[in-house]
Each structure stands twice: as structure tokens, then as C-alpha cells.
Structure 1
Amino acid sequence: MASPAMRIGLVGTGPWARETHIPAMTAHPGVELTGVWSRDPASAAGIDVPRVADFDELLAGNDAIAFAVPPSVQARLAGRAAAAGKHLILDKPIADSLTAATALVDKIEAAGVTSIVCFTRRFAPETRAFVAAADVADVRSGSGTWLSGSLLGGRYAASAWRAETGALFDVGPHVIDLLDRVLGPITGIVGARHDAESDLWTVMVGHAAGPDTARTSTMSLSLRVPVIPTVTRFEVAGPGGLVSLSERRTTSPECFSVLLHEFLAAVATGRPHELDVRRGLAVQRVIDAITRTVSHQDRSSIASV
């Protein structure tokens, strides 16, 4: 006998929710998208999903809550959802500060609920093939590039939190997470610069490795470079060769469908997913270290993570 579908409520009705969360959850056989709640009711116009009056009503009728809202809003509401015993599908970054992210992790762990963070591209088969190849290639250094003009025009140009925090908080988590995964945990920021006009972040980081092997990587991030389409490129290299990733053939709803499948399995087994809230916290620590390095204008010393 098949298990009943998990009842999930969605917070947020912006472009990301419309193009990724709603299509994937509506189509998934193991999920029932019961309703959505938006802080701005007008933004939910045209969505063919039941709308609820407030966040408490969304909590009352569901087993899990998914979030597609700014990080500051997510951190506050996800903590309430965890306290109510709801499993969580979180967006990245998990909060707008390291303090808020740490507090959220504490609440989730105290509640004993399952969490997963939407590092979207990590659920794509091309990304998983890249990770698998890097794992056997003895890679020592690498680079991650994510350049976009999404704040110059289009559906995300009106996003206030993206305009305020820029590429480091929006696409940065994807790059940080993947480089950290294939080269080892990021332990320090060797150097970081941010050009505010172009929102261009240039960052060099150090990774944990063996005593005789230093590992480093560089990141280039922007949401204000006029490139069409968006450029995403990862390369890692070492004695075992060069491993590259530039494909994005898997759509975001397809990636989110895989996320849902693995989220349901994590809930059923009680085993934490690799990309749970603690992974989100690890990425948040790196974001915080990069921000501190830039704000202190200290380009020569290493900021610890």
C-alpha cells in the first residue's frame, strides 16, 4: 500500500516559487501542495493553488513547509515552523546573517525535524557527474564562476533583497557549496574584493587538506554583468587531471523534483540529508567570512571560517 502524500505548504509567490517550487510540487506524486501564503496577497494573483489567510493557517494544515522568500524572512518563519514540528524545505542562504542562521539551526535541531536546503544545481545529474569525477581525480585547485545580469532587467530585477546583498548572497551559496564539496571544507578567505557598481565579487579561499597538500580556489560572482545567457562554469584540477562543469541542461523544476524525492526519503528514514540545514550553516559561515574580509578592507591576511 502506497504511503499517503506529504502535505506541504509554500511560503512565497515570487518568480522563483512560480517557476520552480509550484510546478515541481504540483507534479510530484509523493507531495500534495495544499496551499500558499504570501506576505503580499496581491503577488499571489494568477496562481492556481489555494491561498491561505496567514502563516499560522499554513502551519496547521501541513506536514512540511517550503520557503521561497528573502533570507531574513525565512530565518524567522522557519524557526516558528520547526517549533510547530514541521519539516522544512529551505532556500539558500538559510538566513541573512550568521547569527540568525545559527539560531535557526538550533531551533531545527531542538525540534528534531528534517530539513533540506535548495542548492538547486546539486540535484542535477550533470553536477553529480562532476562531483563524482572530481572525487577520483585528486584535485588540488579550482575555480567557480557565476556571472549574470539578472539585476539589470527581467523577473528578478525588482527583488529588493537581491539588490541589497548582491551576488554573494544569491548565487554565492551555489558556488561556495560546490567548491567546498569537491576541494574540501573552506577554512579561510585568502583575499576578497567587491566592485559595487558591477556587483563583481572576486574571492580566493583555502580548503582543508592533508599536511602536504595545499588546496585553493577562486570565485567570480556577479548579478550585474550584462551577459546573456548566464555563465556558470566550474573547473578543478590536480595530478588526476582536469574536471569541468558548464552544463545546465537540467531545469530547475527537474532539480527540485529530485530534491523532493530525497527530502521524502530523509523524512521517512530519519537520516539527515547531505544538504540539510547544517550544510546551509557551513555555507553561511563562508559568506560571513567573505563579508568581513571585504568590510575590513584587509586583503593580505586570511580570515578564518
Structure 2
Amino acid sequence: MRIGLLGTGPWAQMVHAPVLEAHEALDFVGVWGRRPEAAKELADRHGTRAYDDVDALLTDVDAVAVALPPDVQAQLAVRAAGAGCHLLLDKPVAATVAGARAVVRAAQEAGIASVVFFTTRYVPEAGAWIAEQAETGGWFTGHAQWLGDVFHSTGDHPFATPWRGEKGALWDVGPHALSVLLPVLGDVRRVTAAAHGPRDTVHVVLDHVDGASSTLTLSLTAPPAATGAGVELRGTAGVTRLPQGGGDAAGALTRAADELLASARDGRPHACDAAFGLRVTEILADAEALLAGGAH
């Protein structure tokens, strides 16, 4: 499959470009970025072509991998789908519900495959645990915490990007938490509460359609010694926790690309397709609305 990369930021440099170059079933055709000089530098590093015109790249490929801020991603994903390109998207799919709906509509109208890169879902140990807990059922409550120090560390953190500074932990790491909880506890019936914590930290309470409740604690400004991610479930089967480790971002993206290839080949929607990305966006937007209505 011929694939292009949209984006030249730290994630594109550290993960996307190396994975696309190394993947045996992908032909890494080229790179487009909002800064042409950065696109040329990244393309040269990986032996591919830099494109000044994004539509020219879309014409030359079968699929695109996107490593861009969510508002930019949504606009270009619609254009890519319209050009018949399969989509390997980053999370969140868009910065607004309307933007995510536009991506889903474009993908459906074009009949293309889409996969959203919720990193944890493509770590084998985590994926197996999620499937096992979904099969077990009987969960009473769950708690997910994703605590980073992107905006707490001294010096420049590579992921201290403007969109993360604007949207905060809810939109950056909230999708990771939801990607684990939703397949186990069921869809969210209602966001029952959302509150601010220290700095950009937020706490969110969810009511799930299957009767369970869950809480999320999310931050990009935690003290370095307090960082980490985890999920704990409690129910009739007892207590279980999401396995730690077991993979890295490059391995996870490689598996996401494998699953995009499979979805494009057999035509079956992926569990983490753009429609699932839309549902995550809707939940985030509901939580954001509650936060905006409360005291800061």
C-alpha cells in the first residue's frame, strides 16, 4: 500500500516516519507538512519525497498517516477521504464534534478504511486484557488515570505543543483512557460530573449504559515523580488492573498500520475506526462543557 505522511512534528519524527519507512507492506511515498523546510528535512532523512502540495500527495497514495493537531487533522482527513485515501489517524480525531462528524461522513461516503491510533489498544498485552475483561463482564466501577508532566518539566518537552497547551489533558490523554474503558464498560450514557484539579488536571465521572460507573483523572502537569497511567476495574470477578509495559509507540503504530491494511483489504470496519473516534470526541466535548460551566 502506498502511504503518505501528513505532519512533521515530534510524533511524526520519532514514530510515524520511522515506522512507515520500515513497514514491509507499506511504500512510504512522501511527506507533507505545514512547514515545507521541515517536510524536506524529514523526507530526506527517510529516503522519500517532500510534497509542497498536499493534494498532489493525496493523488499519489492509497492511504495517509496523520500526525497533526486535531483541528488540522480533521480538515485534511476529509480531503484525503475524498481523494479515496484510507486513514491512519491520531487521537483525538478532531477538536470538535462537528469536525469528527465530518471525518466520519467523508470516510463513509468514500468507502475507505479508517483506524485511529489509540496507542494502548495496539499493545498486545493491553489489547488481550481489554478483550478478556469485556468478555468477563459484571463490572461495578472503573478508574483510569493518565498523568503526564508535559507542561511541568524544566526545559522544553517535545510534546509541549500549542494545541496541547490549549486543549489540555482532557483532550490529549482523555482519549487513551476512554479507548480502554468503553470496550469493557460499554458506551457512556452520561457524563455525570467534571471538575478541575491542580493546573490542567481534570476529574471526570461517567455513567455507562451497562450499569457501571467510571472515573478519569487526567493531567499533563503532574509532578514528574507522580506520572504514569493505569486502569483498575472492580466487579463480580474481583479486582483487575491494566498490564503495564509490554510495548512501545513504534510497535503499537506498526500494529495499527497492519490493522488498517487488513480493514482496507476485507472491508470490515475496525473497532477503533473514525466512528469510534467520533464517539470519544462527543464524550470529551460533554466533559468540556461541564468544566466550562463549573468553577475554575
Q: TM-score, normalised by structure 2?
A: 0.93
Shift of 1:240: 0.7
Q: How does 1:99-110 map to 2 (within 5 A)?
A: 99-110=98-109
Structure 1 Cα separation of the partners of residues 269 and 50 of structure 2: 31
Does the Cα contact within 8 Å between 1:130 and 1:243 map onto a contact in 2? no
Q: CA deviation at 1:44?
A: 3.6
Q: Which has the higher helix share?
A: 2
Residue-by-residue CA offset, 1:89-126 (whole Å, 9 max, x unaligned): 11111111011111221111111111110111101012
2:206 aligns to what?
A: 205
Q: After superposition, what is the alpha-carbon deviation per residue over 1:120-157, rounded to whole angstroms, capped at 9, x for unaligned?
A: 11010121132133121522211000000012342112
Q: Which of the numbers 200, 223, 229 marks the counterpart of 1:226?
A: 223
Q: SS where residue 145 of structure 1 aligns?
A: strand
Q: Pairwise mapping of residues 238-249 of structure 1 onto structure 2 (< 5 A)?
A: 238-249=235-246
- The runs of 4+ residues in structure 1 deviating greater than 4 Å are none
**1:274, CA displacement in angstroms?**
0.7
Code of the residue aligned with 2:290 in structure 1: it is T
State how 1:1-305 maps to structure 2 within 5 Å: 6-44=1-39, 46-47=41-42, 48-49=45-46, 50-135=49-134, 136=136, 138-153=138-153, 154-157=157-160, 159-195=161-197, 198-209=199-210, 214-228=211-225, 230-297=227-294
- State the Cα distance separating 1:189 from its structure 2 match: 1.0
1:148–1:228: 8 Å Cα contact kept in structure 2? no
* Counterparts in 2 of 1:89 and 1:29: CA distance versus 1, 3 Å: same
Unaligned stretches of 5+ in structure 2? none
Per-residue deviation, 1:22: 1.3
Deviation, structure 1 residue 65: 1.0
Q: Is residue 147–residue 225 contact of structure 1 (8 Å, CA) maintained in 2?
A: yes
- Percent identity reads 38
Aligned equivalents of 1:90 and 1:155: distance in 2? 20
Contact 1:147 1:223 in 2 (8 A): yes
Offset from partner CA, 1:224-246 (integer Å, 9 cap, x none):
11225840010011011111015
Q: Does structure 2 retain, via aligned residues, the 8 Å contact 1:144–1:234?
A: yes
Q: Secondary structure at the match of 2:206?
A: strand
Q: RMSD value over aligned CA atoms?
A: 1.5
The number of aligned residues is: 287
Q: 1:223 to 1:165 in 2, by over 3 A?
A: same
| Residue pair 1:147, 1:227 contacting (<8 A) in 2 also | no
Instruction: Tell me how far 1:259 sits from its aligned partner.
Output: 0.8
Letter in 2 for 1:145: Q
User: In 1, Cα distance between the equivalents of 2:124 and 2:243?
Assistant: 13
Change (3 A) 1:225 1:13: same
Unaligned 5+ residue runs, structure 1?
Answer: 1-5, 299-305
The amino acid across from 1:57 in the alignment is: A
